[in-house]
Chains A and B, each alone.
Chain A
Amino acid sequence: MVNVIINGRDVAVEENTSILEAAQKLNINVPTLCHYPDLHINSECRICVVEIEGYRGLKTSCSTPVREGMNIKTNSPKVLNARKTITELILSNHDAKCTSCVRNMSCELQSLANNLGIDENRFENVLHKVEIDDHNPSLVRNANRCIKCGRCVDICKSVQSMHVLDSMGRGHDMEIRPAFGKYLSDEFCTFCGQCANVCPVGAIVEKDNTDVVWQKLHDPNVHVMVQIAPAVRVSIGEEIGLSTGLISNGKLVSAMKHLGFNNVYDTNFTADLTILEEGTELISRIKNGGVLPLMTSCCPGWINLAEQEYPEVLPNISSCKSPQQMFGTLAKTYFANKTGRDPKDIYVVSVMPCTAKKYEAARDEMSADGKHPDVDIVLTTRELGKMFRQMGIDFDHIQDVEFDNPFGITTGAAALFGATGGVTEAALRTVYEVVNNEPLDNLDFHDVRGLEGIKEADVNLGGTMVKVAVSHSLSNARTLIEEVIAGKSPYAFIEIMACPGGCIGGGGQPYGTTNDVRLERIASTYTIDGAMVYRKSHENPAIKALYKEYLKEPNSKRAHQLLHTEYFSRN
């Protein structure tokens, strides 16, 4: 243990603890900007400087380890002046139109400046405005707001291993952007949106589609329906100021109705459908000597990675559309048919934890009639939060309302889709019972749960032990993909999710997503699963009815036509 004094108070901490962590132990708050839990310490912003007796200059508390006997001041006049000056410098090269920025009130720079009492900037604004990159359906990169903290570079490089963003140029001309001044769409960007999730300001944000949704909601000639992804219900509470991210389905549906949606449906329904289609595909590939391992197809970030960098594995990927797109197709075909509506009068909105879903919905082949997209527009969890705030919904007093039918009856298995390992667990619950023709004793597959980067499990399918693997974050995905390409993959089934933690850690989720927050959202996910009446997708009565009435059986001709897709090499 190392003994130090911080602001006159003694504290003993482990060796190699940073001064920042030592201060936190004493509940002393040292402001930070570039620092982000779970990412590397790059010590670039210099906001967290402190004064240490006997040390030359000021030291950044994030990167300086404690030494025995250090006498540290976190708030001396010299420190406060330095922090204020540095913040003024950042603002002097920042497009600080706070009230017209999507990050107004959630901006870390804004709150830092406010806390430091900056009411006037001594330095002249020297911002040289550059073009905004909004050339893709998912993300908008506004470099005029970038403060060069390096978080996006770090997550893109070390967590996602994509290396799309990096710092270019030097000195005052240094900027963070894709190489050679290209657009994100020119690069092998997967639009996972992790950069947007960790950005402290409004420099990278999702493309905001709330305006067009409001417009459709107020158009009496359009039937607007919405689907809500499994991971949204465990995080939307963070957007509306609830201490835990979890919100009851009843309140969520009720609030959506307040916004004016004609039908509020659940993506969990098509998650169950996905399990039946994908599970059947797995069984048939194993039985008929098809291409293995079968790799999941729910995650558009991973599909983008495969199409762009690993076309070799495209035959491994399940031909199933993602739950979002299965829903869109059913809405524009089955639902339109059943309710006697013209598909072009139906407007399908998705609420997703994801920015890549915006890209997925805009893909050419995701259209039943070849003209209109099956899913018309995708909102992130954050955008839904924004609409709730715009509408001023009082969550304390709204009445519970159930999801609309038929796409509202779901199972616990579907709820698991939000967490890493969830698709695998849901698939195993169904595949086990179908293949072995006996009920599963224990529904919980603990081996595939949690935040370990790559997880494995063995399952007995018809007397054969079959290996499955789960990865989350694209750097972990690469490990499994490269094994497959090298012919060394021991697995029959691989679940890949682009974002750390799975969809609950998606790029469109509320700001402040850290591993601690991911674990809370994951815990909520299992709570939901445990409380469900049906916990296996194949037991979902509404799914059974849909097959009976419309699709006949999993992987039927009609199912293939509507619910399956193909992938294209973009390498």
Chain B
Amino acid sequence: MIQRKELTQRFGIIDPLSITDYLKNQGYQMLHQVLEMKPEDIIEEITLSKITGRGGANFPTGKKMKGFASETGQKYVICNADEGEPGNFKDRYLMENDPHQVIEGMLISAYATGATKGFIYIRGEYQKSIRIMKHTIEEAKKLNFLGTDIFGTDFCFDIEIRRGAGAYVCGEEFALIESIEGKPGRTRVKPPYPSEVGVFGRPTLINNVETFCNLPFILKIGGAEYNKIGSSFATGTKLISLSGSVKNKGLYEVPFGTTIRKVIEKLGNGVKDNKTLKMVQLGGACGVIIPPRLLDMDIDNEAFEIFDTKMGAGAIIVIDDSKDLFDIILRNMEFFQHESCGKCTPCREGHIQIVNLIKKFVNYEATIKDYQSLESLAKVIHETTLCGLGQASPTSILSTMEYFKADYTNRIKESYERGNISG
């Protein structure tokens, strides 16, 4: 068994619109149990599990919750469901197939940390997810899973849906917070971090949908047991959004430690249309592009350190050899040019220049100088931008400059040979 269905165990089995179905399948059981535990013990279990954030930055969830729990006064929990990274669709699946699991995870977090109000910030294009989550909240309220004095305890927690308006950058935590406050989605200077000064100036715990969905599971089997799942570097399971030139596209849940090759070959059933695999982009448009020889790499964060990047949210995009590398990079880069918020210089002014330079490669008009400018610019954007968008956006360029350098040099050579460059 390559898959291990924990977060997706109820997928297809329950009617997502029915709270009764969820309850029949062990739903809200962990909440009941948790309400009898001491908040610090819950955080202890989560810390013991060594789970890290599933949104892509991989920050230890227990550590984040512990810091947040020590804050006082009005506190907020935000579920980041602004899944905008191209190639990712796991959060949509989680919301549309098992929505109460999201609510239960948020409830556990809120109880463990003393927060009383939650927001789910859902990507605007996810109309169906928004409808389902709204319905789910209503149902949970009716049965007092949300609201005041939940199950006769003095625990109160309410959730509001906020929908995004299409900006990719609003998945970045501070841009998301600004957006909830009704402002343009632009990041803030850190520190202070959201757990200190977040939405409406109050401490805020912000986690990805998948991270919240993990919490009932962690508490069910215990942190120590959870810690045993996965590899020595990363624990638990990971939802993989598999797409591109592969026969069986879709969502898969695998334990950490599974190799990328296994996911593509066993779960995805290999490259479609009898084509050859040329490269794989991991994480989404902001992710590394690796050659076939690296497919035996584990899906875990440690492995990605070599790229000076993070694993991302679990997208695997398979690209066959009929595709042109520069077309792919151009598409990525035009996306980031469009999605940059414009706040910091390297991201605002850098992406348009990156696009211009990549276009030269696409059009067979590239020189060695263009290559040097592109490399230098990509590194500067990666190292100096204010938020994660620009820090990650040039990853496809920097990784292909390492693993597909021949594509660049050949293109430059051909540019000269075709007579497109004078001198």
Q: Are B346 and A46 in contact (CB under 8 A)?
A: yes
CA distance A124 to B189 in the complex (A): 30
Complex interface residues of chain B between 314 and 369 (CB less than 8 A to chain A) = 337-346, 348-353, 356, 369
How distant is B125 from chain A, measured CB to nearest CB, in Å? 17
Is A170 positioned at the interface, with any CB of B under 8 Å from its CB? Answer: yes
Q: Which residues of B contact A49 (CB under 8 A)?
A: 383-384
Residue A241 CB within 8 A of the other chain? no
A170-B184 contact in complex given A43-B386, A82-B384, A89-B345, C-beta closer than 8 Å: yes
Distance, CA A126 to CA B359, complexed state (A) = 15
Q: Using a CB-CB cutoff of 8 Å, which residues 369-404 of chain B contact chain A?
A: 369, 373, 376-377, 380, 382-386, 391
| Complex: chain B residue closest to A175, CB-CB | B342
Contact with B along A60-93 (1 / 0, CB 8 A): 1001010000000000001001100110011011
Are A63's CB and B384's CB within 8 A? no
Interface pair B189/A41, CB less than 8 Å apart = yes
CA distance A82 to B383 in the complex (A): 8
- Asked if B308 is an interface residue, CB under 8 A from chain A, the answer is yes
Report the bound CA distance from A210 to B190 in whole Å: 45
Q: Given A81-B380, A92-B353, check contact A170 B385 (CB 8 Å).
A: no
| B345 x A63 contact (CB < 8 A) | no
Nearest residue (CB) in A for B349 is: A89
Q: Does B167 contact A (CB under 8 A)?
A: yes
Q: Which residues of A contact B380 (CB under 8 A)?
A: 81-82, 85-86
B191 adjacent to chain A (CB < 8 Å): yes
How many residues belonging to B are interface residues under a CB distance threshold of 8 Å? Answer: 36
Q: Given the complex of chains A and B, what is the CA–CA distance between A480 and B166 in angstroms? A: 42
A104 interface residue, CB < 8 Å from B? no
Question: Contacts of A82 on B, CB cut-off 8 Å?
Answer: 380, 383-384
A147 CA / B349 CA spacing, docked (Å): 10
Contact A46 B342 (CB under 8 A): no
Q: What residues on A are CB-neighbors of B348 within 8 Å?
A: 148, 171-172, 174
Query: Chain A residues with Cβ under 8 A from B383's Cβ?
Result: 49, 57-58, 78, 82
Residue of B nearest to A176 (CB): B342
Q: Are A45 and B344 in contact (CB under 8 A)?
A: yes
A358 to B69, CA, bound (A): 56
Q: Enumerate chain B residues within 8 angstroms of A172, measured Cβ to Cβ.
A: 337, 340, 342, 348-349, 351-352
CB interface residues, A 102-136, toward B, < 8 Å:
122-124, 126
CA distance A521 to B308 in the complex (A): 51
B167's closest neighbor in chain A, by CB? A170
Query: Nearest Cβ distance between residue A489 and chain B, in whole angstroms?
Result: 30
Decide: B189 and A148 in contact? CB cutoff 8 A.
no
Partner of A123, one of B169, B338, B373: B373
Query: Which residue on A lies nearest to B372, using beta carbons?
Result: A122
Q: Is A289 an interface residue (CB 8 A)?
A: no
- Which chain B residues border A173 with CB–CB below 8 Å? 342
Residue in chain A with minimal CB distance to B343: A44
Which chain B residues border A123 with CB–CB below 8 Å?
353, 356, 373, 377
Q: Which residue of B lies closest to A63 (CB)?
A: B189
Contact with B349, one of A47, A57, A93 (Cβ below 8 angstroms): A93
| Contact, CB under 8 Å: A86 / B184 | no
Point out the residue from A46, A122, A124, A170 that lies within 8 Å of B345, measured CB to CB.
A46
The answer, yes or no, to whether A8 is at the interface (CB within 8 Å) is: no
Tell me how many residue pairs across A and B have CB atoms closer than 8 Å: 104
Interface assignment of A556: CB less than 8 Å from any CB of chain B? no
Q: Which of B175-221 touch A at CB < 8 Å?
A: 184, 186, 189-191
Given A45-B344, A85-B380, A170-B184, residue A56 in contact with residue B351 (CB < 8 A): no
Nearest-neighbor residue (CB-CB) of A57 within chain B: B383
Q: A49-B384, A58-B383, A78-B383 are in contact. Are A171 and B376 (CB under 8 A)?
A: no
How many whole Å from A115's CB to the nearest CB in chain B?
17
CB-defined contacts of B391 to chain A, threshold 8 Å: 57
Q: Which residue of A lies closest to B352 (CB)?
A: A172
Complex Cα spacing A147 to B384, Å: 17
Does A167 lie at the interface of the complex (its beta carbon under 8 Å from any beta carbon of B)? yes
Partner of B341, one of A41, A46, A81, A171: A171
Give A384 to B8 CA distance when docked, in angstroms: 74
Instruction: Tell me whether B344 and A44 are in contact (CB under 8 A).
Output: yes
Query: Does chain B have a CB within 8 A of A54?
Result: no
- Cα distance A110–B148 in the bound complex, in angstroms: 60
**Residues from 409 to 446 in A contacting B, C-beta threshold 8 Å:** none
Q: Which of A41, A46, A124, A174 contacts B384 (CB 8 A)?
A: A46
- State the Cβ distance, B168 to closest chain A Cβ, in Å: 10
A residues less than 8 Å from B338 (CB atoms)? 171
| Docked complex Cα distance between A82 and B350 (Å) | 12
Q: Report how far A78 CA is from B186 CA in the complex, Å.
A: 27
- Taking the closest CB of chain B, its distance from the CB of A502, in whole angstroms, is 31
Asked whether, in the complex, the Cβ of B342 is within 8 Å of the Cβ of A65, the reply is no
Q: Is there contact, CB below 8 Å, between B340 and A81?
A: no
Which residues of the other chain, B, contact A56 by a CB distance below 8 angstroms? 308
Quick one: closest A residue to B341, CB to CB? A170
- Whether, in the assembled complex, A42 has its beta carbon less than 8 Å from a beta carbon of chain B, the answer is yes
Q: What residue of chain B has the Cβ atom nearest to residue A58's Cβ? A: B383
In the complex, chain A residues whose CB is within 8 Å of the CB of B373: 122-123
With A and B bound together, what is the CA distance between A47 and B353 in angstroms? Answer: 18
Minimum Cβ distance to chain A for residue B337 (Å): 6
Partner of B353, one of A41, A57, A124: A124
CB of B82 to closest CB in A, whole Å: 15
- Contact check, A85 vs B377: say whether CB atoms are below 8 A apart: yes
| A340 at interface, CB cutoff 8 A | no
**CB of B380, distance to nearest CB on chain A (Å):** 4
Instruction: Report which residue of A43, A89, A93, A148 has the largest number of chain B beta carbons within 10 angstroms of its beta carbon.
Output: A89
Which residue of chain A lies nearest to B354 when distances are taken between CB atoms in the complex?
Answer: A123
Task: Identify the interface centre among B341, B345, B351: most chain A CB within 10 Å of its CB.
Answer: B345
- Bound state CA distance, A261 and B368, in angstroms? 62
In Å, the complex CA distance between A505 and B350 comes to 36
In the complex with contacts A172-B351, A174-B348, A65-B191 CB distance below 8 A: yes
B330, chain A: closest CB distance, angstroms: 16
Chain B residues contacting A90 (CB-CB under 8 Å) are 345, 349
Q: In the complex, what distance in Å separates the CA atom of A439 from the CA atom of B339?
A: 69
Most buried by B among A41, A46, A57, A90: A46
Interface centre among B186, B351, B352, B377 (most CB of A within 10 A): B352
Q: Once the chains bind, are A126 and B353 in contact (CB under 8 Å)?
A: yes
* A44 and B386 form a contact (CB under 8 A): yes
| Closest CB in chain B relative to A77 CB, distance in Å | 12
Question: With A63-B189, A82-B380 in contact, do A46 and B356 touch (Cβ < 8 Å)?
Answer: no
Task: Please indicate the chain B residues that have their CB under 8 angstroms from the CB of A58 in the complex.
Answer: 383-384
Question: Closest Cβ of chain A: how far from B353's Cβ, in Å?
Answer: 5
From B169, B189, B190, B377, name the one whose CB has the most chain A CB atoms within 10 angstroms. B189
Distance in Å: Cβ of B165 to nearest Cβ of chain A: 11
Q: Are A171 and B339 in contact (CB under 8 A)?
A: yes
Tell me the smallest distance from the CB of A63 to a CB of chain B, in Å: 5
When chains A and B are docked, how far (Å) is the Cα of A85 from the Cα of B375? 12
CB distance from B56 to the nearest CB of A (A): 14
B342 touches A169 (CB 8 A): yes
Bound: A65/B190 CA distance, A = 10
Give the distance in Å from the alpha carbon of A367 to the alpha carbon of B349 in the complex: 49
Query: Which one, B167, B342, B346, contacts A86 given CB within 8 A?
Result: B346
State A67–B196 Cα separation when bound (angstroms): 18
Q: How far is the CB of A188 from chain B (nearest CB, A)?
A: 20
Question: Taking the nearest CB of chain B, how far is it from the CB of A168, in angstroms?
Answer: 9
| A89 contacts B342, C-beta separation under 8 Å | no
Contacts beyond the supplied A86-B346, A167-B184, A167-B342: 20 A-B pairs with Cβ under 8 Å = A41-B189, A46-B345, A47-B345, A49-B384, A56-B308, A57-B383, A58-B384, A85-B377, A85-B380, A89-B345, A89-B346, A92-B349, A123-B373, A148-B345, A170-B169, A171-B342, A171-B348, A171-B351, A172-B348, A174-B343
Question: Mind listing 20 A-B residue pairs with CB under 8 Å?
Answer: A43-B189, A49-B383, A49-B384, A85-B377, A86-B345, A89-B345, A89-B346, A92-B349, A126-B352, A126-B353, A126-B356, A169-B342, A170-B340, A170-B341, A171-B338, A171-B340, A172-B351, A172-B352, A174-B341, A174-B348
The 6 closest A-B pairs by CB, nearest first: A174-B342, A89-B349, A171-B340, A57-B383, A85-B380, A43-B189
